Amino acid sequence: MPRWLPRAMVLALALYACFQLGSWAFHQLIGLLINILIAFFLALAVEPAVGRMAARGIRRGLATFLVFFAVLVAGMGFVVLLGSLLAGQIIDMVEDLPKYIDSVIRWINGTFRTELSRVEVQDSLLRSDWLRKYVQNSASGVLDISATVLGGLFKLLTIFLFSFYFAADGPRLRRALCSVLPPAKQTEVLRAWEIAVDKTGGYLYSRGLMALISGASHFVLLEILGVPYAPALAVWVGLVSQFIPTIGTYLAGALPMLIAFTENPWYALWVLGFVVVYQQFENYMLQPKLTAKTVDIHPAVAFGSVVAGTALLGAVGALIAIPAVATLQAFLGAYVRRYDVTDDPRVHGHHRPRASRALARMRLALRRDRPAPEGHRAGVDGLPEA
């Protein structure tokens, strides 16, 4: 056996053990890493506001606290407003439930010539097995729901803490990162950081603008139909549909439909039709133009980045995919050398017709058939040769 073989085997086993240990640690910490990634992009989003306040003489930590406090107050106010709205509507629906049951029973009796009564229907429902199973499952699932809520609150607290530290200690973090890099690399890192701040802010600006347009459009519809709490519902539709990826549109449209149904069932159909039509308008007309303009990427690239981000990280990946791709594209664009495009009709999307191409061939053939001038003789392919 060669002398180096045992040492090579030990080294291979050690490398394999390190790889397995790193893979296990990564899978254990992937939740924390995703929270840190969200916190980093949130810190980039609030960086312009914090920077402006710091430039006016406010300490950076206090400026970061004020920005996050304003965001927290706005979010809590929105949740409380919608919670009170939803609770009031649920109470009204429960109080009016006997009326709905009576109207449905009358329709069934008149259509199918039956003799149902509300008392019999209520007794059959209360004595049914599926209702008992549902109550038992709900009682056993209270602990699971409580654990899920507490876990979500802990994740939100973790994200806010990391984002606060990233925003408050942004200059110190950049100095620490640049201190381990040569001067040439420091300039590139600072440029990438600035591009990331601009693109993240542009993405949030586009989302906010689309939320404003969506909320105003749905507010007009709800006011025309006479649906109560139209301003709060419009704010709900605008924010939820834009800042919750994939399922945000369905969550946003469900609440206005439910409240419209309590007023008139046909109003719910009107709201459903408007939500579907507006969603198509937003997907194919509004969102590609605004996203491409504010984030400066092609609409197809924006759509593909959202699909890829969803496949990799789920809803979090869909939310941060566009600013991440825009930052990468802008950073790489500074180092990719570009050339002037040739003045060819095919480059601009214009193709010469077949007749013009045939005419060009005839002209070339006539030029080749012409006699060569004096002092020249014909070379290869009929071209003049000295």
State whether 308 and 200 are in the same domain.
Answer: yes
State whether 250 and 166 are in the same domain.
Answer: no
Q: What is the pLDDT at residue 138?
A: 60
Percent of the chain with pLDDT over 70: 73
State whether 68 and 203 are in the same domain.
Answer: no
> In whole angstroms, what is the distance from residue 77 CA to residue 235 CA?
12
> In whole angstroms, what is the distance from residue 350 CA to residue 142 CA?
66
- Read off the pLDDT of residues 371-385 as tens digits, 9 standing for 90 and up: 555 544 444 444 444
> Residue 256 falls within a domain, yes or no?
yes
> Residue 237 falls within a domain, yes or no?
yes
Cβ neighbours, 10 Å, residue 54:
18
- Read off the pLDDT of residues 147-195 as tens digits, 9 standing for 90 and up: 777 777 888 888 889 989 988 888 888 888 888 888 878 888 888 888 7
> In whole angstroms, what is the distance from residue 217 CA to residue 274 CA?
9
Q: What is the mean pLDDT of residues 55-68?
A: 89
State whether 152 and 214 are in the same domain.
Answer: no
> Residue 293 falls within a domain, yes or no?
yes
Q: What is the pLDDT at residue 16?
A: 95
**Secondary structure of residue 226 in the 3-state scheme:** coil
CB 190 within 8 A of CB 98: no
> In whole angstroms, what is the distance from residue 47 CA to residue 342 CA?
42
- Lookup: tokens for 138: 């709900």
Cβ neighbours, 10 Å, residue 225:
18
State whether 194 and 317 are in the same domain.
Answer: yes
| Tally of domains in the chain | 2
> In whole angstroms, what is the distance from residue 199 CA to residue 327 CA?
6
Q: Which of 180, 202, 228 is the last residue of a domain?
A: 180
> Residue 26 falls within a domain, yes or no?
no
Neighbouring-strand partners of residue 385: 377
State whether 173 and 254 are in the same domain.
Answer: no
Whether 291 shows a pLDDT value over 90: the answer reads no
> Residue 115 falls within a domain, yes or no?
no
Range of the domain at 300: 185-335
**Secondary structure of residue 377 in the 3-state scheme:** strand
Burial of residue 234 (CB within 10 Å: 0-12, 13-18, 19+) is buried
Q: What is the mean pLDDT of residues 364-376?
A: 58
First-to-final CA distance of the chain: 76
State whether 168 and 273 are in the same domain.
Answer: no
State whether 247 and 287 are in the same domain.
Answer: yes
* Mean pLDDT, the chain, whole residue set: 77
State whether 63 and 202 are in the same domain.
Answer: no
> In whole angstroms, what is the distance from residue 225 CA to residue 217 CA?
13
Of 50, 66, 35, the closest CA to residue 160 belongs to 35
> Residue 283 falls within a domain, yes or no?
yes
> Residue 299 falls within a domain, yes or no?
yes
Q: What is the pLDDT at residue 23?
A: 92
State whether 162 and 80 are in the same domain.
Answer: yes
CB 265 within 8 A of CB 291: no
State whether 157 and 234 are in the same domain.
Answer: no
Of residues 314 and 27, more confidently modeled? 27
> Residue 25 falls within a domain, yes or no?
no
The confidence band for 15, taking pLDDT boundaries of 50, 70 and 90, is very high
State whether 255 and 164 are in the same domain.
Answer: no
